[in-house]
A and B are shown apart, each in its own frame.
Chain A
């Protein structure tokens, strides 16, 4: 029982803190015009692509009892802040890791709001924060709820972080410890797994209830989203200060990881002792295939996800097909299954099934990793696609239909293009998180040559000597995924520009 309460507490508080981080970033970048908005959005997503277990290691280095910050505080003031102790540590790591879910989905939502919604409020005398709170944020709710429910669920059933921080009195670690110590047949482990799944489903249901019966679509997609205001010099300084503060906190694990990847030895000291680039040569020399594997797996999985996500979102929200709600829950339930549980499930299901025309068991074939990743990340893409679809007014679709367009071409020519922002957001989340997924892949990788990068990092990180190269490989992973995110961000921005001209009234 205590574990259940702890899990709730940690997930709830993490959502609050993640919102506090994500809201200002989304607000500033979507409302104002200043240099580097795309860069800031990209940096805001980067935390998501740090494998959680690596993030925890890095944050221990910085914020742990013997981390840089506390050593520094101890030297100067003689006291410490227990950031990383117990549940606080989990909350801290999780909020920083998962807030991009809110940022991505909320930003996509904000970009979809009809400009006249905001203008009519302005001409009625509303402005600034009040305008944001009363009009903009409520209209962006589909995105916020999508993001916040993801954060809640991911934190709720995350395993790696509590384990690494040695916090065992939460539900997921309990389940894992029981299954791994007593064995796959321990009933208590399954009971807890079921509780996890049920509560996650419940959380999704609550999010669904919050959205139901509310009208969020704005009839026209005018002017490419919110009006962007120019900032005065003073305002600019203020905005940059806030953004830099937030980014420096949320990117600190990456900073630590970067330092670690360049350092010879770093422990019990504020800064590393000396620097080297040897780790990079070692990491890249031995790990090229990790990188190509990762791109392949995550890319294919994310592509599958957005196609399925768009299709399912459409079926669930725009058709009357029987059992469509069940389809939604089924797709989303993948979210509620912790990676370890899913991994075990696959092993049990496919172990005795051979690849067609070969003697290799399906579990030893790399395709299984893609399937696992695709299924695990489907909910992310689905949420993003659903939020995007909810903002496309049904009138637009009816318009196409009334012009004689068949259902399929309506979807292809009208619905999907208007959903582009959301779909790309879905792709980014799926891709970025699939690229660093560890728990499921760890169970499924059979040959090192088929392994993705997270596996490589994990293997390196096992030994003290491997921490340097592991960190180097982690940095490489982050760079690759960040590049992908940045490129898709640019695509969204260009698509918005095009819409702004063609559909302006």
Chain B
């Protein structure tokens, strides 16, 4: 290893990859900063694992380039990349004890025995499982296996850490606990990390930035808040949380849906587009209010769901069904089914995409 501080940013340019004739990744461009916690988020089959595996050197040879820092690793074999990968199945070797599993990568690097012992203890300490060092993987719980897999990977100080749905085999409580542990570990070690998940809450809570993938294409990159507030298309809007999405057309600065729901806009260009409003951005009331800079709609409550901190109303407006989330506080009146309601939406809460 070189003595100068290596930068461990990741830079992916124009990366495409096919299994046989089916193209699974399409022209991926991606820059990840050194030390960043970055997530790939997307539905099943969107290519998250494939992209992660391409970075670690597995799967079919892609076209395009992958760099870590200044080093082009596109054509390096997996074992020379120094990229740490934690597998969804953990992939602990059943024929080795926990200690042996963790020591493996260090042994491959021909490090002195004493040093290996010290580093292994340190890594096991980091995941607080020093007591289990002499067990075999089959004698561990899922969460413990997960930690060992993590320890085995970070003990070799990889340039980047890749995690493919590391929490998906754990129960809900453990997932929350583990994701905090992973994050604090990552911060402490300053590891550039990519985390694959299809759970948006997981991605939101843990990531500095994330990329939303669909159909082998990166749809959008940004911070969780940024992606939520400013989705670039219908897919991202609907994938991150719930959204009211109505398709229609803009003509002469007027949005018109298929059912002739009409809203003024200041967009000059005529085009087909989707109207997007988050459920909590709509104010619902049984009395009419006059607000500046807002749209007024009238509708009828179809039904509602009481969720505790919010009440979710399903409201029909000109043949479109809107979802509206309303904060609930003690003794706040709930609007009944079939009641006539007035919806109030400030203009800046609406996106035309």
Contacts and interface: CB of A to CB of B under 8 A. Distances in A.
22 contacts: A119-B85, A119-B91, A120-B85, A122-B57, A122-B77, A122-B78, A123-B56, A123-B83, A123-B158, A124-B104, A124-B152, A125-B105, A126-B104, A126-B105, A127-B80, A130-B108, A139-B95, A141-B95, A215-B137, A217-B94, A227-B58, A505-B88
Given A125-B79, A125-B80, A219 B89 contact: yes
A220 interface: yes
A138 interface: yes
Contacts of A406: none
Interface string A198-235: 00000000000000001111111010000100000000
A123 B79 CA distance: 5
Given A116-B91, A123-B78, A126-B79, A505 B49 contact: yes
A121 interface: yes
Interface of A: 114, 116-117, 119-127, 130-131, 134-135, 138-139, 141, 214-220, 222, 227, 505
Given A125-B105, A126-B79, A215-B138, A120 B95 contact: no
Contacts of B94: 139, 214-218
A441 B115 CA distance: 63
B91 A117 contact: yes
A216 B95 contact: yes
Contact of B77 (A120, A127, A214, A215): A127
A119 B79 CA distance: 9
Contacts of A114: 89, 91
Closest 5 CB pairs of A and B: A124-B105, A116-B91, A127-B79, A215-B94, A122-B78
Contacts of B87: 116, 119-120
B156 interface: yes
A125 B156 contact: yes
Contacts of B82: 125
B108 A126 contact: yes
B93 interface: yes
A116 B88 CA distance: 9
B161 to A, nearest CB: 11
A9 B82 CA distance: 47
Nearest to B165: A505
A214 B89 contact: no
B249 interface: no
A117 B152 CA distance: 13
Contacts of B166: none
Nearest to B61: A230
Contacts of B89: 114, 116, 219-220, 222, 505
B81 interface: yes
A123 B95 contact: no
B57 A123 contact: yes
Contacts of A122: 57-58, 77-79
Contacts of B138: 215
A124 B95 contact: no
Interface in B85-128: 85, 87-91, 93-96, 104-105, 108-109
Contact of A124 (B58, B77, B96, B108): B108
B152 A123 contact: no
Contacts of A121: 93, 104
Contacts of A131: 79
B146 interface: no
B224 interface: no
Contacts of A123: 56-57, 78-79, 81, 83-85, 153, 158
Given A116-B87, A219-B89, 13 more contacts: A114-B91, A116-B89, A119-B58, A120-B87, A121-B104, A123-B56, A123-B57, A124-B104, A125-B80, A125-B108, A126-B104, A127-B80, A215-B138
B27 interface: no
Nearest to A134: B104
B13 to A, nearest CB: 22
B179 interface: no
B136 interface: yes
Given A124-B152, A215-B137, A139 B81 contact: no
Contacts of A217: 94
A217 B90 CA distance: 14
A505 B85 CA distance: 14
B95 A214 contact: yes
Interface in B45-67: 49, 56-58
A131 B91 CA distance: 15
A389 B177 CA distance: 36
A218 B94 CA distance: 7
A417 B279 CA distance: 49
Contacts of B77: 122, 127
A114 B156 CA distance: 23
Contacts of B104: 121, 124, 126, 134
Contacts of B156: 124-125
The interface centre, meaning the residue of A116, A138, A214 with most chain B CB atoms within 10 A of its CB, is A116
Contacts of A135: 93
Interface string B134-171: 00111000000000010011001010000000000000
A123 B57 CA distance: 8
A250 B77 CA distance: 35
A218 B137 CA distance: 11
B25 to A, nearest CB: 15
A153 B94 CA distance: 29
A358 B85 CA distance: 71
Nearest to A123: B85
Nearest to B82: A125
Contacts of B81: 123
Nearest to B81: A123
Contacts of A125: 79-80, 82, 105, 108-109, 156
Contact of B78 (A119, A214, A218, A222): A119
A135 B89 CA distance: 17
A333 B154 CA distance: 49
A217 B94 CA distance: 7
Nearest to A118: B91
A216 B80 CA distance: 27
B106 to A, nearest CB: 9
B75 to A, nearest CB: 13
